[in-house]
Structure 1
Amino acid sequence: MMSHVNQTINFQTQHRQKVRRMNLFVSISAALAGLLFGLDIGVISGALPFITQHFSLTSHQQEWVVSSMMLGAAGGAICNGWVSHRLGRKYSLMVGAVLFILGSAGSAFATSVEFLLMSRVLLGVAVGIASYTAPLYLSEMATENVRGKMISLYQLMITFGIVLAFLSDTAFSYSGNWRAMLGILALPAVILFAMVIFLPNSPRWLAAKGLHVEAEEVLRMLRDTSEKARQELNEIRESLRMKQGGFALFRANKNVRRAVFLGMLLQGMQQFTGMNIIMYYAPQIFKMAGFQSTQEQMLATVIVGLTFMFATFIAVFTVDKSGRKPILKIGFAVMAFATLVLGWCLMKAGEGEISTGLSWVSVGMTMLCIGGYAMSAAPVVWILCSEIQPLKCRDFGITCSTTTNWVANMIIGATFLSLLGSIGAAGTFWLYTGFNLLFIVVTFLLVPETKGVTLEHIEKNLMAGKKLKDLGS
C-alpha cells in the first residue's frame, strides 16, 4: 500500500516537473519573438545616422526609413488575424520568423533607399505578426495566476532585444557599418524558427477548430492535474457556444464592440505616451542635450536600453500581485513628470544654456521616462488586450488593437522630426506630457483589473453588460 502511495507521489512530482519545463519552454520560445521585435526597434536608432550619410537622406526620408517598419507591422497585424485563425498561433510565429530573416537580409544588402524601404516594410510585417501572435499565444497557454508574468516576459525580451541592438550598434558605430547592424538580426530569427517547431498549438485555438481531444492533450501538458485540464476545457467549450464569431459577432454584439474599442484605445494610449520617439531618435535627443560625438550618444542610448530592460523586471514580479491598474496609473504619472522636465531641459539647450549638468539631467529624465513606460504601459497594455477579448472574437479584436498600435506607432515615427521643426523639442515633449495626464484619467474610468481572473470569467462579465472597469470583478 505504501509503495503504491509513493509511486503515485513520484508520478505527480515528475508530472509537475514536466509541466514546469513545458511552460518555461513555451514562455521562452514565444517571448523570443519579442526579442526580434526589440532588436528591430533598437537597431534603427544607431543605424539611422550612418544610413542618412550613406544615402544623403532628407529629414522626411529619415522619417520614412523609421516609420516604414510600422507601416509593414500594421499590414502584418491585419493579415495575421486571418493567418492566426486559419493556421494557428504556432505556424503564425514560424511565418513571422521566415519574413524576419528575409527582411533583415534585404535591409543589409540594400543598394538604394527604395530597396531599403521595401525591406523595412517586410521586416515590419514580421514584427506585426510577432507582436500580434506572441502575447495572444502566451495568454491562451498560461494559467490565470501567472498569465501576467508570462506576457511580461515577452515584454522583457523586447527590452533585452533593444539593449542587444544598442550594444551591437555601438560596436559597429566605430566603423560605421550600418549593413552589419541590420543584417545581424537574422540570426535570432533562425533560432526562433527552430524553437517554434517544437511548440504545441494553443488549446483554445484547437478547441475552436473542433479538435477537443488534441486541446485536452495540450492542457494536460501545461496544467498540474488532469482535473484542471478538463475543467479548463469545459470552460473553453462553454465560451465557444456563441454561434457567431469574428466581424459578424463584432457587428451584432455591442458588448464585443466595447471590448474591441477598449483594446484599440489602450494600444493608442501606449503609443502616445511618446516613448517610442525616444527609442527611435535617442541619438538625436542626446545630441540636442549636448552629447556631440556619436560614441557619446550611443553610450547614453545603451544606458537607456539597460534602464528599459531592468525596469521591466518590476512588471514581471508585480503585475500578478499588485495588479494591472495601479501599475498603469503610476507609470503614466512618472512619464508625465519626466517628459515635462525633459522638455524644459531641451528648451534650455535650445537657448544655448548647455552644460554637463543639464545634459545629464536630460539623460536622467529619459531614463525615468523609459523606466515608467517599461514597468507599466509597455507590458500591461499587451496583457490587457490579450485578456479582454471574447474567445470567438479574439482574433478579430486583437487584430484591431495590434493594428491600432502600429498605425499610432507609424504616425509618431513619421511626425516627430516635423513636430520638432514646428513646435520645437520642448513643445513636442510637453505635448506628450498632456497625453500622459489624460491617460491617468482614462485608466481610472475605463480600465478593468484582471489579475487572477480567468479569461472565461472576464468574457462572462463582458457579455453580461458589466462596465468595462468592472470586467475583472
Structure 2
Amino acid sequence: MVWLSCALAAIAGLLFGMDIGVISGALPFITDEFEISTAMEGWIVGSMMFGAAIGACGASWVSKSLGRKKALLLSALLFFAGALVAVVAWNPSILVVARILLGLAVGVASFTAPLYLSEVAPERIRGTTISFYQLMVTVGILAAFVSNLAFSYIESWRWMFGVLMIPAGMLFVGVMMVPNSPRWLASQDRFGEAREVLTKLRSSQVEVDYEMKEIEQSIEEEDKNQGWALFRSNSNFRRSVLLGIGLQIVQQFTGMNVMMYFAPRIFEMSGFQGTEAQLWSTVVVGLVNVLATFIAIGFVDRLGRKPILYIGFAVMAAGMAVLSGILAIGPTTTFLQYTAMTALLVFVTGFAMSAGPLIWTLCAEIQPLRGRDFGIGCSTVANWVANMMIGTFFLTMLDALGGPMTFGLLAIVNLAFIVFTLLLVPETKGISLERIERNLMRGEALRDIGR
C-alpha cells in the first residue's frame, strides 16, 4: 500500500515534469505562428510559474482543510483544464491563460505530493520515496521532450500540450484509490481513522503503535497556534520556514530550469543548428536527467542528504564553468560542440542526483506537524517566484551579458551553495519527523536538528 500510494501520488510529478518540458519544444513553433517578441516568449514561459506560486498558496489551505488527497484531485482537474485551453488557444493571451492554469496545477501538485509522500512513507525509506517523486518529474520532462520531437515533424505545438490530458486523467483515477495521510487525519482529531490507515501502511502492529504514539505526542506538545499564528509567535518555527524558503531559492538559482525551458536556445549557442538537431539534443538531456535521479534514489537513505548535495553542487559548478569557457572560445569545431554538450549533461547529472530530489525531501522533513502546511506552502511559493523570475528574464539577461558570463555566474553561484549547505542544512537521514520537530522546537542549530 505504501508503494501504491507513492506511485500514484508520483504521477503528479510526471505531470509536473511534462509541464516543465513541453514549453521548450513548443516555444519555437508558437513564436513562428503568432510572431511574438522575445519579451512575450518570456511571459509565456513565466506565466506558468506565476500560476504555480498562486497554486502553492491555495494548496496550503486546501491541503490543510480538505486533506492531501483532495488537493491532489484538484491538481489533476487543473492539469486537464489547462491542457485543453492550450490546445484551443487562438492568440498568445489565451495561451498565457492556459499556462497560468497549468501553473496552478503544478503549484498544487508540487506542494501536496512531497508532503503526502513524507507522511505516508516509513522513516527508513522516506528519502527514497520522495526522491521517487522527483524521478517522476524527470520522467515527465523526458516524456515531454520525446513528445515535442515527435510532434515537431508535423509542427503541431497544440498536440504537445494536448498529451498532458492523458496523465491528468490517470492521476485523478489513481488518487481516488489511495488513503489519506494519517498525520493529516490525526491533526484533524480523527485518530481512529489515522490508526486504520497506518495499519494498511506499516508492516507490523508494533510500528503502528509506535508511530501513533509519536504523532499524538507531537500534537499534544505543539502550541495551540498553527500556520501564520505559529509563525508569528514561535521563533523556532520561523527558522524552519526561512530555511525551507532558502532551500527552494537555492534549487532554482542552480540554473536547472533554465536548461529545461530554453534547451534548444542553449544548444543553438553551442553550435547545434536546426530545430530537429536541437530537439534531439533535449531528449538526451531528459534521458540523462532521468538516469541520474536513480543515484539519489539509491544513496539518499545510505549516504545521507548533505554529502550528496556537496557532490551535486560541485559537479554543477564544474559543468557550468566548462560551458562558459567553450562559449567564450566559440564552439567552432565539432569537438568543442560536443564538449559543450557534455558539460551541459554533467550539469544536469549534478542537479538530478542532488538538489532536484533532495531539496523537496528536506523541505518536507524540517517543518513541525502543526505548521507543516504553512511552512511547505511558503517554501513552494518561494520556489515558483524564483522560477518565474528566472524563466521570464533569463533571455533578457543572456542578451545583455552574453553566454560566457551568464554561465560563469551560474558556476560561481553553485560553489556558494556548498557553503550554504555546510552552515545551515541538517542531515535528516533515518530520523523520524517527530524527533526533527523536537530538536527544532528546543532551539537546536538548524544544521543539528537531524541529530
TM-score calculated relative to the size of structure 1? 0.94
Deviation at 1:160, TM superposition (A): 0.5
Structure 1 residues not aligned, in runs of 5+: 1-21
Hey, what's the Cα distance between the residues in 1 that align with 2:62 and 2:76?
14
1:335-350 pair list within 5 angstroms: 335-349=316-330
Please list, as runs of the form range in 1=range in 2, the aligned pairs for 1:151-230 lying within 5 A after superposition: 151-230=130-209
Q: Is residue 73 from structure 1 mapped to residue 52 from structure 2 by the alignment?
A: yes
Q: Which residue of 1 aligns with 2:332?
A: 354
Partner of 1:133: 112
Please state how far the C-alpha of 1:348 moved relative to its aligned partner: 2.4
- Secondary structure, counterpart of 1:93 in structure 2: helix
Structure 1 counterpart of 2:432, one-letter code:
T
User: Does the alignment pair 1:92 with 2:71?
Assistant: yes
Q: What's the offset of the Cα at 1:347? A: 2.1
Question: After the TM superposition, which residues 58-457 of structure 1 pair with which residues of structure 2 at under 5 Å, given as runs?
Answer: 58-241=37-220, 242=222, 243-349=224-330, 353-457=331-435
Runs of 4 or more, structure 1, over 3 Å off, are: none
C-alpha distance in 2 between matches for 1:370 and 1:57: 30
Query: What code does the residue aligned with 2:440 have?
Result: L
* Separation in structure 2 between the aligned mates of residue 228 and residue 417 of structure 1, nearest angstrom: 52
Q: Distance in 2 between matches of 1:362 and 1:276?
A: 18
RMSD of aligned residue pairs (Cα, Å): 0.7
The residue type paired with residue 239 of structure 1 is S
Q: What one-letter code is carried by the residue in structure 1 that aligns with 2:350?
A: G
Letter in 1 for 2:389: I
**What is the CA deviation profile of residues 14-65 of structure 1, one whole-angstrom value per residue up to 9, with x for unaligned ones?**
xxxxxxxx11111100111000000010111001000000110100000011
Q: Considering only CA atoms, is the larger Rg found in Structure 1 or Structure 2?
A: 1
CA shift at 1:130, angstroms? 0.5
- Please tell me the residue identity of whatever aligns with 2:172: F
Deviation at 1:389, TM superposition (A): 0.1
Instruction: Write out per-residue CA displacement over residues 353-401 of structure 1, whole angstroms, 9 at most, x where no aligned residue.
Output: 5211111011101100000000000000000000000000000000000
Q: What stretches of structure 2 of length at least 5 have no aligned partner?
A: none
- 1:38 maps to what in 2? 17
Please report how far the alpha carbon of residue 432 of structure 1 lies from its aligned counterpart in structure 2 after TM superposition. Answer: 1.0
- Distance apart, 1:259 and its partner CA: 0.3
- Matched to 2:406, the amino acid is T
Shift of 1:226: 1.4
Aligned to 1:57: 36
Instruction: Give distance in 2, aligned partners of 1:457 and 1:315.
Output: 23
- Match for 2:298: what amino acid? F
Structure 1 residue 313: deviation in Å?
A: 0.2
Tell me the amino acid that sits aligned with residue 110 of structure 1: A
Q: Which amino acid aligns with 1:447?
A: V
Aligned letter for 2:343?
A: M
How many residues matched? 449
